[in-house]
């Protein structure tokens, strides 16, 4: 084979390789951007005080620990799904406002996972 043919073939091989790589990465970038966006939405910010207003139903009250057990809806950036669990009332006054069976809207405030109910408002009865 002549030298110039070898050079052209090598150049072609490199060119095709670069093109394929560029195409593969070009498709990879939007996919990575989408995954990054998804990850950012579900991220739990650690060490940052946050506030949420959450809807729920009061299931039980534990006065000894001022715990309000609620079935709450999703809490964006903290709890990805609805569940039943207990939250501590910040004050005795807030705790006294909760009644078992109430449909409530409550304010959750704190540095996760150390959050407390700072306000609770009755919206109806379950
Ligand atoms: Cu929860």
106-122 residue pLDDT tens:
999 999 889 999 999 99
In the chain, where the domains are located: 3-41, 50-125
Cα 93 to averaged position of ligand 1 atoms, centre (Å): 22
Cα 57 to averaged position of ligand 1 atoms, centre (Å): 12
Q: Is the pTM of this model over 0.85?
A: no
Work out the average pLDDT over 9-23.
Answer: 90
Cα 28 to averaged position of ligand 1 atoms, centre (Å): 35
Class of domain 50-125: mainly beta
Cα 30 to averaged position of ligand 1 atoms, centre (Å): 33
Structure tokens at 102: 């109430």
Report whether 56 contacts 104 (CB < 8 A). Answer: yes
Cα 78 to averaged position of ligand 1 atoms, centre (Å): 8
For 56-98, the pLDDT digits (tens) are 999 999 999 999 999 999 999 899 999 999 999 999 999 999 9
For 44-59, the pLDDT digits (tens) are 666 889 999 999 999 9
Q: In angstroms, rounded to a whole number, what is the distance separating the alpha carbons of residues 52 and 116?
A: 10
**Preceding peptide of 113 cis, ω within 30°:** yes
Q: Return the SS3 of 118.
A: strand
Q: How many CA atoms lie within 13 A of 118 on its CB side?
A: 10
């Amino acid at each position: 084979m002549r030298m110039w043919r070898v050079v052209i073939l090598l150049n072609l091989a490199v060119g095709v390789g670069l093109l394929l790589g560029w195409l593969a990465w070009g498709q990879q970038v939007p996919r990575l951007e989408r995954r990054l966006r998804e990850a950012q939405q579900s991220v739990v910010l650690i060490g940052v005080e946050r506030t949420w207003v959450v809807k729920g139903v009061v299931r039980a009250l534990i006065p000894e620990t001022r715990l309000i057990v609620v079935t709450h809806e999703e809490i964006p950036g903290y709890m990805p799904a609805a569940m039943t669990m207990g939250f501590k009332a910040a004050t005795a006054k807030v705790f006294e406002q909760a009644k078992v069976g109430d449909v409530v809207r409550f304010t959750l405030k704190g540095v996760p996972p150390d959050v407390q109910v700072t306000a609770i408002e009755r919206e109806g009865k379950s």
